[in-house]
Amino acid sequence: MFESAELGHRVDKETFVAEVPKLREMLLDAQFDLAKSSHFPVILIVGGVDGAGKSETVNLLNAWMDSRFIQTHGLEKPNDEERAQPHMYRWWRLLPPKGRIGIFNGSWYSYPILQRVHGKTKDAHLDQSLGRIQRFERMLLDEGALVIKFWMHLSKDAQRKRLKKLEADPLTRWRVTDQDWEHFEMYDRFRKICERSLQATSTADAPWTIVEATDFRYQALTVGNYLNDALRKRLSGQLNPSLVQAPPLPPRLDSVNVFQTLDLTQRLEKPAYLVELERLQGKLNLLTRHKAFKKRSVVLAFEGSDAAGKGGAIRRVTGALDARIYRVIPIAAPTDEEKAQPYLWRFWRHLPRVGRFSIFDRTWYGRVLVERVEGYCSEADWMRAYGEINDFEEQLIRNGTILCKFWLTISPEEQLRRFEARKETAYKRFKITDDDWRNREKWDAYQQAVCDMVDRTSPSRAPWTLVESEDKNFGRIKVLKTIVERLEAEL
């Protein structure tokens, strides 16, 4: 979930200085149009970890725009009157009217999350609160509000550095409190609970946008551009029901993405590969005979660029398995029967029994990959799919299914080489179609879709494993190793 926000996104000073005047003008224009039309209020939530520049961002937005039309609210302790009222009373009082922007630095999320972090409530209570929040935001959306939710993120390491730096400077020392360090000690717990909260409330109409907070210029430009895009999208007021009336996905300010964490030059020479293959296949086979496996099941989900080697990797897995305990399910166009059912139905029908594997060669993620990029479904459909997929996988995991998701990565150059090779090898020629060449032209759009997918469907309980498959041997071993380690941990 926080993958893209731990990559060290940066914007250099020159770019920032060049961009800001344009952005300010656009924001002021949008704000003016908003005030003039007065058709809807804007509710902008800024949440995140301590020291992640929430206040600075809010101050900057006020400086960039006409602050007379912005209402900013910090998360102060509720006063006597507010304490005696229902929990949401204070937020109702602070809602911005139509035509105005209300910025909430801290929001209705803070209290339920902190109660859970401090162990005063259990997961079920947190979910109960999140359900209430969802209904509240649903009401705001139905009433026409534009709801924008930013989550400012720092990795554990980045947060430690940030707090230390603030403490070292006499001018900012006062800002670091004991409570901040106390929260830092609970970073991992905090992160897990935030992840659960963000995932449950990231709906198609009011999605969370996670912003990396290590570089303030990047953070400020991301927030400013996103706000401008969201305002413009909404002000253009299209009533096309197939379009989500919601903020767009975040702008990309640099070319940094999750794929840059991968080193595609990694190789494994044949002799070492064969030794490893045999060792891991043996281990995997043994694990499937483990007593505990009789009560568990495994779902393996394979996605990747065309020619990235999904089939080959899958065969190396099935090579280790008794043919009676697995099924490989190749996902192509849905059958008539499947088209007559909700989208996820065709995956539910192939879930494994206990003691079995279901191996999906392409998966339910088609909705947010090919269907999104090729326009086979509406924006509203693929935007809601992230939540539906998370719900689906949560059910699997809650039921004890072990779920591994692989994205096999190759460079565009390597893909070209493999396409050409397929053309020339008679028995591989069937594997390359016109579609493959067409998809290749949309490389960037697919990359974008994959990044969004990883950001929105990679909770710690069901993470994506990105596999460097430039060298096939390396990729296959990484897949096998991941499966073996997960089974060892779970059984």
Q: Token pair for residue 300?
A: 């393996």
Residue 206 backbone dihedrals phi, psi, to 5 degrees: -140, 65
Among 12, 36, 37, 131, binds its own copies (CB under 8 A): 131
Residue 361 is a binding residue for its own copies (CB under 8 A): no
The nearer residue to its own copies, 85 or 433, going by C-beta atoms, is 85
The nearer residue to its own copies, 324 or 353, going by C-beta atoms, is 353
Find the shortest distance in angstroms from Cβ 366 to its own copies: 15
Residue 269 is a binding residue for its own copies (CB under 8 A): no
The number of residues that bind its own copies (CB under 8 A) is 58
Find the shortest distance in angstroms from Cβ 95 to its own copies: 6
Among 13, 63, 76, 84, binds its own copies (CB under 8 A): 84
Among 79, 178, 353, 424, binds its own copies (CB under 8 A): 353
Residue 376 is a binding residue for its own copies (CB under 8 A): no
Tell me which amino acid residue 376 is. Answer: Y
| Binding characters for its own copies, 146-185, by CB under 8 A (x = yes) | ----------------------------------------
The nearer residue to its own copies, 94 or 321, going by C-beta atoms, is 94
Residue 173 backbone dihedrals phi, psi, to 5 degrees: -55, -40
Q: Considering only 69-77, 270-278, 390-398, 451-459, which stretch makes contact with its own copies by CB under 8 A?
A: 390-398
Scan residues 408-467 and list those touching its own copies (CB under 8 A): none
Q: Is 258 helix (H, G, I), strand (E, B) or coil?
A: helix
Residue 86 is a binding residue for its own copies (CB under 8 A): yes
Instruction: Provide DSSP, 94-129.
Output: HPPPTT-EEEEES-TTHHHHHHHHTTSS-HHHHHHH
User: In angstroms, rounded to a whole number, what is the distance separating the alpha carbons of residues 206 and 141?
Assistant: 8
Report the sign of the C-alpha dihedral through residues 66, 71, 77, 81, in that order.
positive
Residue 85 is a binding residue for its own copies (CB under 8 A): yes
Residue 366 is a binding residue for its own copies (CB under 8 A): no
> Which residues, other chains included, contact 42 with Cβ-Cβ below 8 Å and sequence gap of 6+?
34, 96, 100, 101, 102, 145, 146, 148, 231
Residue 132 is a binding residue for its own copies (CB under 8 A): yes
Could you give the residue ranges of the DSSP H alpha helices within 144-186? 156-168, 178-185
Residue 391 is a binding residue for its own copies (CB under 8 A): yes
Residues in the chain: 491
Q: Token pair for residue 245?
A: 């009336």
> Which residues, other chains included, contact 424 with Cβ-Cβ below 8 Å and sequence gap of 6+?
none
Q: Considering only 257-265, 279-287, 332-340, 467-475, which stretch makes contact with its own copies by CB under 8 A?
A: 332-340
Q: Considering only 56-64, 141-149, 409-417, 465-473, which stretch makes contact with its own copies by CB under 8 A?
A: 141-149
Contact by Cβ (8 Å): 482, 406: yes
Q: Is 143 helix (H, G, I), strand (E, B) or coil?
A: coil
Find the shortest distance in angstroms from Cβ 129 to its own copies: 9
Among 17, 18, 139, 274, binds its own copies (CB under 8 A): 139
Q: DSSP label at 176?
A: -
Tell me which amino acid residue 340 is. Answer: A
Scan residues 99-128 and list those touching its own copies (CB under 8 A): 99, 122, 124-125, 127-128
Scan residues 237-256 and list those touching its own copies (CB under 8 A): 239, 241
Residue 104 Cα distances to 199, 222, 399, angstroms: 20, 17, 38
| Binding characters for its own copies, 281-300, by CB under 8 A (x = yes) | ----------------x---
Scan residues 25-64 and list those touching its own copies (CB under 8 A): 38, 41
Q: DSSP label at 305?
A: S
Residue 95 is a binding residue for its own copies (CB under 8 A): yes
Q: Considering only 65-73, 85-93, 187-195, 465-473, which stretch makes contact with its own copies by CB under 8 A?
A: 85-93
User: In angstroms, rounded to a whole number, what is the distance separating the alpha carbons of residues 441 and 450?
Assistant: 16
User: In angstroms, rounded to a whole number, what is the distance separating the alpha carbons of residues 71 and 100?
Assistant: 8
Q: Can you give the three-state secondary structure of 41-56, one letter per residue?
A: CEEEEEEECCCCCHHH
Find the shortest distance in angstroms from Cβ 15 to its own copies: 38
Residue 48 backbone dihedrals phi, psi, to 5 degrees: 145, -175
Q: DSSP label at 241?
A: T
Among 10, 24, 87, 440, binds its own copies (CB under 8 A): 87
- Which has the closest alpha carbon to 47: 226, 217, 209? 209
Q: Token pair for residue 418?
A: 């493999």
Among 81, 169, 269, 322, binds its own copies (CB under 8 A): 81
The nearer residue to its own copies, 164 or 349, going by C-beta atoms, is 349
**Interface residues with its own copies (CB under 8 A)?**
38, 41, 81, 84-89, 92-93, 95, 97-99, 122, 124-125, 127-128, 130-132, 134-136, 139-140, 142-143, 145, 239, 241, 297, 337, 339-345, 348-349, 351, 353-354, 380-381, 384, 387-388, 391, 395-396, 398-399, 401
